[in-house]
Amino acid sequence: MKLSLAAITKRFDGHLVLSDVTLALEKVHTLALIGPSGGGKSTLLRIIAGLEFPDSGAVEINGEHVLFQEEALLRHRRTVGTVFQAFNLFPHLTALQNITLPLEKVHGHATAEAEQIARQFLARFRLEKHGEKKPAELSGGQRQRVAIARAVSIKPKLLLFDEPTSALDPEMTAEVLDMIKQLREEGRDFILVTHEMGFARQVADQVAMLADGKIMEAGAAAQVFESPANPATRDFLAKVLKY
């Protein structure tokens, strides 16, 4: 995909969260956003997802300008699949229903068709036995995988992951990361905010490091991880990769 962020600025309660964020990537499959907590990664992701309005600046995906108005954003969100850290699924619906809901109500599939698609994806991600269970009956890892299945099943042009494994224990983290890796191998485009540096290194082709609302460094993954140019990046990586 082609991604262009131009001078994005965002304030919350007078606090400057994103300051003049600019990034232009011609051909990127997987972009990893890394950096210290509170650096603005999640906010940036949410703006790209169409869930927040920037105070100023522009977002362009594959040449299409994202218009920050409610009606246009509604259409935009339908083309983007977002997976949050937690609370993705609706607790009163089964895993299957959680996936069929957007397929039916947002993307206009017939009920039978939606169910078929949902079951296909559940099977692909080895969740077919859990389709009739409610989220409360699933483990954290299974919940996130259902959330990812839901995001993928609508055939989005872009997937966004906001720290999908931060709330999970190591074992579940691994199963979710496996799934994301699988998606990478299928050739899907996504932007990933994560603290899992080792994983980011494996799957990302481009990396951007955000701290204090500014892009400290951006470039090819191999280069940024091996030899970071910015001292801030170096410090951050040193801390994170210590243990």
Partner 1 sequence: MFIASNEPDAAPPPTRLRALNFALALLLVTLLFYFSFQQVNYHWDWAGIYKYRSKFIQGWFNTILISLAALALSICIGLFFALAQRSRVLPLRYFSKLYIEVVRGTPLLVQILIFFYVVANAFGVANRYLVGILTLACFSGAYIAEIIRAGIESVGRSQLESAKAIGLTRAQTYRYVVFPQALRQTLPPLAGQFVSLIKDSSLLSIISINEFTLNAREVNSYTFSTLESYLPLAAGYLILTLPVSLWTRHLEKRHRYET
Q: Which is nearer to partner 1, 75 or 239 (CB)?
A: 75
Q: Which is nearer to partner 1, 85 or 202 (CB)?
A: 85
Give rounded-to-5 percent helix, strand, coil for the chain: 40, 25, 35
Q: Which is nearer to partner 1, 100 or 194 (CB)?
A: 100
Residue 221 beta carbon to partner 1: minimum distance, rounded to whole angstroms: 26
157's tokens? 């042009």
Q: Which is nearer to partner 1, 24 or 106 (CB)?
A: 106
Residue 161 beta carbon to partner 1: minimum distance, rounded to whole angstroms: 12
Residue 168 beta carbon to partner 1: minimum distance, rounded to whole angstroms: 17
Q: What residues line the site for partner 1 (CB under 8 A)?
A: 49, 51, 74, 77-78, 82, 84, 86-92, 101-102, 105-106, 134, 136, 150-151, 154
Residue 142 beta carbon to partner 1: minimum distance, rounded to whole angstroms: 14
Cα–Cα–Cα angle for 190, 94, 87, rounded to 5 degrees: 50
Q: Which is nearer to partner 1, 86 or 240 (CB)?
A: 86
242's tokens? 């210590």
Closest CA to 209 of 44, 27, 1: 44
Residue 160 beta carbon to partner 1: minimum distance, rounded to whole angstroms: 9
| Residue 26 buriedness (CB in 10 A; 0-12 / 13-18 / 19+) | exposed
